[in-house]
Amino acid sequence: MSMSKAAFVLVHGGWHNHSAWNKVTPILEAQGFAALTLDLPGAGVNAIAPTSLGRRPFDPAAFAAEQSPIAGLTQRERTQAVVALIKEAASFSDGKVILVGHSAGGMTISGVAEQVPNLILAVVYIAGFMAPNGMPLLAMLQHETMSSALSPRLFVGDPASIGATRINAGSTDEAYRSLLKASFYGDVSESEFEHAASQLHCDESNAGALAPSEITPERFGTVPRHYIRCTRDCAVPLPGQDHMIAMVDGAIGGKTITHTLESSHSPFLSQPANLSRILIDIAVQSLAEQSADAPQVVSIHEHG
């Protein structure tokens, strides 16, 4: 089976969309890999902004209080959207799919790996939320190892009241924009930060933060898992990343294979070549292991 038929499915993180991968997909494709992305339900083209965001003059109080239009969105909807893309990728890649998730996208890829483990060669977390069975993202974010995270300081309004975790990526307040850059894009140029921020949507449904992880050793645990640690991450701090790896390894069994980048939360922007190299190495390793595990046909000849 040809390595060129292997496919990556790349899942973006919170407030982002498929454009996060625009620097990575050409590198993967140049090496013969298919690379599929999507806007998750509630993200990108599927995002719906509160009406107060577009009113002028802008009313910060109204923006902070308005109920989110996507408050009813469920984690299951997101998981099923990626399952559908995995099945599409598997249909033309001989079932050889590498599933990659960034940040909050980690919760989605865990659910996907639990549902269709037979279609996934490996699952890869990039500074992703990887929580043991029964733990929601919010509980992990509140753990002491996440105490230095800057991203919660971006939240606008009361998530419980508005039904979403809300940010204002279009804010003109210099202090807020500096915090946004430091949280997600600390090692990204100013011009790239401006473009990346313009792509962000404002609401992430609470369902994504409150839905408990549903992973088992019998399904999720059979998929080789990798974690790309980002040492300069201010959204998912390194101690939190390492804590999640240890928790899941202890609960599920097996060992998460770790890789390390000296990067912020967004290596797909600041270090796309280095990130892609790690992803390609994971794919090559996974393909080699699959080939080694495949049943061997032995021809027996009789000699007279």
| DSSP-assigned letter for residue 259 | E
In the predicted model, is pLDDT for residue 299 greater than 50? no
CATH number of 3-292: 3.40.50.1820
Q: In the chain, what percentage of residues exceed pLDDT 70? A: 95
In the predicted model, is pLDDT for residue 182 greater than 60? yes
pLDDT the model gives residue 161: 97
The residue with greater pLDDT, 299 or 230, is: 230
Q: What is the tens place of the pLDDT at every residue in 104-119?
A: 999 999 999 999 999 9
Q: Where are the domains of the chain?
A: 3-292
Task: Give the pLDDT mean for 266-283.
Answer: 98
pLDDT the model gives residue 2: 41
Using an 8 Å Cβ cutoff, are 101 and 213 in contact?
Answer: no
Using an 8 Å Cβ cutoff, are 253 and 215 in contact?
Answer: no
Nearest to 183 by CA among 160, 175, 259: 175
Lowest mean pLDDT among 10-24, 158-172, 287-301: 287-301
Q: What is the tens place of the pLDDT at every residue in 55-92?
A: 999 999 999 999 999 999 999 999 999 999 999 999 98
pLDDT the model gives residue 300: 37
Cis peptide before 57 (omega within 30 of 0): yes
**Structure tokens belonging to residue 16:** 């982002």
pLDDT the model gives residue 248: 98
The residue with greater pLDDT, 122 or 297, is: 122
Q: What is the pTM of this model?
A: 0.95
Task: Give the pLDDT mean for 139-144.
Answer: 96
**Structure tokens belonging to residue 6:** 């292997």
The single residue listed with the structure tokens 């991968």 is 21
pLDDT the model gives residue 23: 98
Tally of residues, the chain: 304
The single residue listed with the structure tokens 């059979």 is 222
pLDDT the model gives residue 295: 59
Q: What is the tens place of the pLDDT at every residue in 193-240?
A: 999 999 999 999 999 899 999 999 999 999 999 999 999 999 999 999
Q: In the chain, what percentage of residues exceed pLDDT 90? A: 90
pLDDT-based confidence at residue 302 (cuts at 50, 70, 90) = very low
**Structure tokens belonging to residue 239:** 């101690």
